[in-house]
Amino acid sequence: EIELTQSPATLSLSPGETATLSCRASQSVGGYLAWYQQKPGQAPRLVIYDASKRATGVPPRFGGSGSGTDFTLTISYLEPEDFAVYYCQQRYDWPPITFGQGTRLEIK
Amino acid sequence: QITLKESGPTLVKPMETLTLTCNFSGFSLATGGVGVGWIRQSPGKALEWLALIYWDNDKRYSPSLKSRLTITKDTSKNQVVLTMTYMEPVDTGTYYCVRDSLASNWYYNWFDPWGQGTLVTVS
Protein backbone atom coordinates (compact mmCIF):
# COMPACT_ATOMS: atom_id res chain seq x y z
CA GLU A 1 0.00 0.00 0.00
CA ILE A 2 1.33 3.43 -0.96
CA GLU A 3 1.29 5.88 1.93
CA LEU A 4 1.00 9.61 1.34
CA THR A 5 2.37 12.05 3.91
CA GLN A 6 1.27 15.66 3.74
CA SER A 7 3.04 18.59 5.31
CA PRO A 8 2.54 20.79 7.11
CA ALA A 9 -0.52 19.61 8.99
CA THR A 10 -1.68 23.20 9.33
CA LEU A 11 -0.58 26.25 7.37
CA SER A 12 -1.53 29.72 8.57
CA LEU A 13 -1.33 32.45 5.96
CA SER A 14 -2.97 35.73 5.07
CA PRO A 15 -4.99 36.50 1.94
CA GLY A 16 -2.68 37.58 -0.85
CA GLU A 17 0.15 35.32 0.28
CA THR A 18 1.33 32.16 -1.48
CA ALA A 19 0.64 28.72 -0.02
CA THR A 20 2.96 25.78 -0.62
CA LEU A 21 1.60 22.36 0.38
CA SER A 22 3.63 19.18 0.18
CA CYS A 23 2.72 15.54 -0.42
CA ARG A 24 5.30 12.77 -0.22
CA ALA A 25 4.65 9.20 -1.34
CA SER A 26 6.21 6.12 0.27
CA GLN A 27 7.15 4.90 -3.23
CA SER A 28 6.99 6.38 -6.69
CA VAL A 29 3.53 7.17 -8.03
CA GLY A 30 4.85 8.53 -11.33
CA GLY A 31 2.67 11.52 -12.16
CA TYR A 32 -0.54 9.94 -10.94
CA LEU A 33 -1.36 12.28 -8.11
CA ALA A 34 -4.35 14.51 -7.46
CA TRP A 35 -5.23 17.26 -5.01
CA TYR A 36 -8.70 17.82 -3.54
CA GLN A 37 -10.07 20.81 -1.67
CA GLN A 38 -12.60 20.36 1.11
CA LYS A 39 -14.39 23.22 2.81
CA PRO A 40 -16.27 22.77 6.10
CA GLY A 41 -19.51 20.88 5.63
CA GLN A 42 -18.84 20.26 1.94
CA ALA A 43 -17.70 17.35 -0.18
CA PRO A 44 -14.17 17.37 -1.54
CA ARG A 45 -13.61 18.94 -4.93
CA LEU A 46 -10.95 17.93 -7.45
CA VAL A 47 -8.44 20.72 -7.91
CA ILE A 48 -5.41 19.16 -9.61
CA TYR A 49 -5.00 15.79 -11.35
CA ASP A 50 -2.12 14.08 -13.13
CA ALA A 51 0.08 16.10 -10.74
CA SER A 52 -0.23 19.37 -12.65
CA LYS A 53 -3.49 19.60 -14.60
CA ARG A 54 -6.14 21.94 -13.26
CA ALA A 55 -9.64 20.55 -13.02
CA THR A 56 -12.51 22.31 -14.78
CA GLY A 57 -13.29 25.66 -13.23
CA VAL A 58 -10.18 25.81 -11.04
CA PRO A 59 -8.53 29.24 -11.22
CA PRO A 60 -4.97 29.53 -12.55
CA ARG A 61 -3.64 30.60 -9.15
CA PHE A 62 -3.70 26.87 -8.30
CA GLY A 63 -0.66 25.01 -9.56
CA GLY A 64 0.59 21.47 -9.09
CA SER A 65 4.07 20.12 -9.62
CA GLY A 66 6.22 17.10 -8.92
CA SER A 67 6.68 13.51 -9.95
CA GLY A 68 7.83 10.27 -8.42
CA THR A 69 7.56 10.70 -4.65
CA ASP A 70 7.47 14.47 -4.06
CA PHE A 71 4.61 16.75 -5.05
CA THR A 72 3.62 20.33 -4.36
CA LEU A 73 0.39 22.26 -4.53
CA THR A 74 0.99 25.98 -4.84
CA ILE A 75 -1.76 28.53 -4.40
CA SER A 76 -0.71 32.03 -5.35
CA TYR A 77 -2.37 35.22 -4.14
CA LEU A 78 -4.62 33.43 -1.64
CA GLU A 79 -8.27 34.39 -1.77
CA PRO A 80 -10.59 34.01 1.25
CA GLU A 81 -12.37 31.10 -0.46
CA ASP A 82 -9.10 29.14 -0.75
CA PHE A 83 -8.88 28.46 2.98
CA ALA A 84 -9.84 24.82 3.37
CA VAL A 85 -8.38 21.36 3.90
CA TYR A 86 -6.41 19.91 0.99
CA TYR A 87 -5.88 16.19 0.41
CA CYS A 88 -3.54 14.48 -2.02
CA GLN A 89 -4.43 11.10 -3.55
CA GLN A 90 -2.50 8.57 -5.63
CA ARG A 91 -3.75 6.45 -8.49
CA TYR A 92 -0.54 4.77 -9.57
CA ASP A 93 -0.70 1.44 -7.79
CA TRP A 94 -4.02 0.26 -6.47
CA PRO A 95 -6.06 -1.12 -4.83
CA PRO A 96 -6.07 0.50 -2.45
CA ILE A 97 -6.44 4.05 -3.71
CA THR A 98 -4.92 6.11 -0.92
CA PHE A 99 -5.21 9.66 0.37
CA GLY A 100 -2.94 11.78 2.49
CA GLN A 101 -4.07 12.89 5.93
CA GLY A 102 -4.70 16.45 4.76
CA THR A 103 -3.27 19.94 5.22
CA ARG A 104 -5.46 22.57 6.82
CA LEU A 105 -4.94 25.97 5.24
CA GLU A 106 -6.20 28.56 7.70
CA ILE A 107 -6.40 32.32 7.76
CA LYS A 108 -3.70 33.91 9.86
CA GLN B 1 -24.30 19.05 -15.43
CA ILE B 2 -23.12 15.98 -13.57
CA THR B 3 -24.65 15.29 -10.17
CA LEU B 4 -24.55 12.42 -7.74
CA LYS B 5 -26.68 11.99 -4.66
CA GLU B 6 -26.37 9.44 -1.88
CA SER B 7 -29.26 8.03 0.08
CA GLY B 8 -29.66 5.51 2.83
CA PRO B 9 -30.20 5.15 6.57
CA THR B 10 -28.73 7.73 8.90
CA LEU B 11 -28.58 5.31 11.81
CA VAL B 12 -27.71 1.62 11.83
CA LYS B 13 -27.15 -0.76 14.71
CA PRO B 14 -23.93 -2.67 15.26
CA MET B 15 -23.74 -5.90 13.26
CA GLU B 16 -26.40 -4.70 10.81
CA THR B 17 -25.88 -4.35 7.08
CA LEU B 18 -25.69 -0.87 5.56
CA THR B 19 -27.17 -0.30 2.12
CA LEU B 20 -26.41 2.99 0.37
CA THR B 21 -27.73 4.10 -2.99
CA CYS B 22 -26.13 6.57 -5.36
CA ASN B 23 -28.39 8.15 -7.96
CA PHE B 24 -26.57 10.10 -10.61
CA SER B 25 -27.31 12.16 -13.68
CA GLY B 26 -25.39 13.84 -16.46
CA PHE B 27 -23.39 10.78 -17.49
CA SER B 28 -23.91 7.11 -18.17
CA LEU B 29 -22.29 4.03 -16.70
CA ALA B 30 -22.63 2.51 -20.13
CA THR B 31 -19.83 4.78 -21.35
CA GLY B 32 -16.48 3.07 -21.69
CA GLY B 33 -13.90 4.07 -19.12
CA VAL B 34 -16.38 5.48 -16.62
CA GLY B 35 -16.87 4.23 -13.09
CA VAL B 36 -18.73 5.14 -9.93
CA GLY B 37 -17.27 4.66 -6.50
CA TRP B 38 -17.64 5.19 -2.79
CA ILE B 39 -15.37 7.02 -0.37
CA ARG B 40 -15.96 7.61 3.32
CA GLN B 41 -14.73 10.05 5.91
CA SER B 42 -14.88 9.48 9.63
CA PRO B 43 -15.65 12.59 11.70
CA GLY B 44 -12.64 14.88 11.61
CA LYS B 45 -10.56 12.33 9.77
CA ALA B 46 -9.12 11.77 6.34
CA LEU B 47 -10.69 10.15 3.30
CA GLU B 48 -10.87 6.39 2.78
CA TRP B 49 -11.60 4.80 -0.59
CA LEU B 50 -14.04 1.86 -0.41
CA ALA B 51 -15.09 0.52 -3.81
CA LEU B 52 -15.45 1.18 -7.54
CA ILE B 53 -17.62 -0.30 -10.28
CA TYR B 54 -17.05 0.23 -14.00
CA TRP B 55 -19.04 0.34 -17.21
CA ASP B 56 -18.11 -3.28 -17.95
CA ASN B 57 -19.14 -4.40 -14.43
CA ASP B 58 -15.53 -4.72 -13.30
CA LYS B 59 -15.45 -4.17 -9.53
CA ARG B 60 -12.59 -3.13 -7.26
CA TYR B 61 -12.57 -3.05 -3.46
CA SER B 62 -10.42 -1.79 -0.66
CA PRO B 63 -8.43 -4.84 0.44
CA SER B 64 -9.02 -4.08 4.12
CA LEU B 65 -12.81 -4.04 3.68
CA LYS B 66 -13.28 -6.37 0.74
CA SER B 67 -14.95 -9.12 2.75
CA ARG B 68 -17.67 -6.73 3.92
CA LEU B 69 -18.39 -4.77 0.74
CA THR B 70 -20.52 -5.39 -2.33
CA ILE B 71 -21.01 -2.84 -5.10
CA THR B 72 -23.59 -3.22 -7.86
CA LYS B 73 -25.02 -1.06 -10.62
CA ASP B 74 -28.25 -0.61 -12.52
CA THR B 75 -27.20 1.19 -15.66
CA SER B 76 -30.75 1.80 -16.87
CA LYS B 77 -31.62 3.55 -13.61
CA ASN B 78 -28.33 5.47 -13.30
CA GLN B 79 -27.89 3.92 -9.90
CA VAL B 80 -25.09 2.31 -7.90
CA VAL B 81 -25.62 0.49 -4.63
CA LEU B 82 -23.05 -0.25 -1.92
CA THR B 83 -23.66 -2.73 0.86
CA MET B 84 -21.44 -3.06 3.91
CA THR B 85 -22.00 -5.90 6.33
CA TYR B 86 -21.26 -6.18 10.04
CA MET B 87 -21.32 -2.46 10.73
CA GLU B 88 -19.40 -1.23 13.77
CA PRO B 89 -19.21 2.16 15.53
CA VAL B 90 -15.87 2.80 13.79
CA ASP B 91 -17.76 2.76 10.50
CA THR B 92 -19.54 5.96 11.51
CA GLY B 93 -18.89 8.73 9.03
CA THR B 94 -19.91 10.49 5.86
CA TYR B 95 -20.15 8.29 2.79
CA TYR B 96 -19.56 9.92 -0.60
CA CYS B 97 -20.48 8.70 -4.06
CA VAL B 98 -18.10 9.78 -6.83
CA ARG B 99 -17.74 9.57 -10.58
CA ASP B 100 -14.48 8.00 -11.67
CA SER B 101 -13.37 9.42 -14.96
CA LEU B 102 -11.04 11.90 -16.74
CA ALA B 103 -8.32 9.56 -17.99
CA SER B 104 -7.81 7.84 -21.32
CA ASN B 105 -7.02 4.68 -19.35
CA TRP B 106 -9.63 3.96 -16.65
CA TYR B 107 -6.95 2.64 -14.30
CA TYR B 108 -5.70 6.20 -13.90
CA ASN B 109 -9.06 7.91 -13.52
CA TRP B 110 -9.83 10.62 -10.95
CA PHE B 111 -12.78 11.30 -8.66
CA ASP B 112 -14.83 14.11 -10.13
CA PRO B 113 -17.38 15.19 -9.12
CA TRP B 114 -18.45 14.07 -5.66
CA GLY B 115 -21.90 13.75 -4.21
CA GLN B 116 -22.85 15.81 -1.17
CA GLY B 117 -22.35 12.81 1.11
CA THR B 118 -24.59 11.06 3.57
CA LEU B 119 -23.82 10.77 7.28
CA VAL B 120 -24.16 7.29 8.72
CA THR B 121 -24.02 6.70 12.46
CA VAL B 122 -23.52 3.25 13.90
CA SER B 123 -24.93 3.01 17.40
From the list A102, A58, A48, A64, the residue with the least C-alpha distance to B110 is A48
Q: How far is A14 from chain B (nearest CA, A)?
A: 24
State residue B102's pLDDT score: 86
Q: Are B107 and B56 in contact (CB under 8 A)?
A: no
State residue B113's pLDDT score: 98
DSSP per-residue codes, B53-103: EETT--EEE-TTTGGGEEEEEEGGGTEEEEEE-S--GGG-EEEEEEEEE-S
Q: How far is B20 from chain A (nearest CA, A)?
A: 17
pLDDT at B122 over 90: yes
Q: Are A28 and A16 in contact (CB under 8 A)?
A: no
Which is it for strands A10-13 and B47-54: parallel, antiparallel or unpaired?
A: unpaired
The residues, ordered by sequence, that sit 6+ positions from B122 with a Cβ below 8 Å of its Cβ are B11, B12, B13, B14, B87, B88, B89, B90, B91, B92
What mean pLDDT is reported for chain A? 98
pLDDT digits (tens, 9 = 90+) for B33-67: 999 999 999 988 889 999 999 999 999 999 999 99
State residue B46's pLDDT score: 86
Q: Do B111 and A46 touch (CB under 8 A)?
A: yes
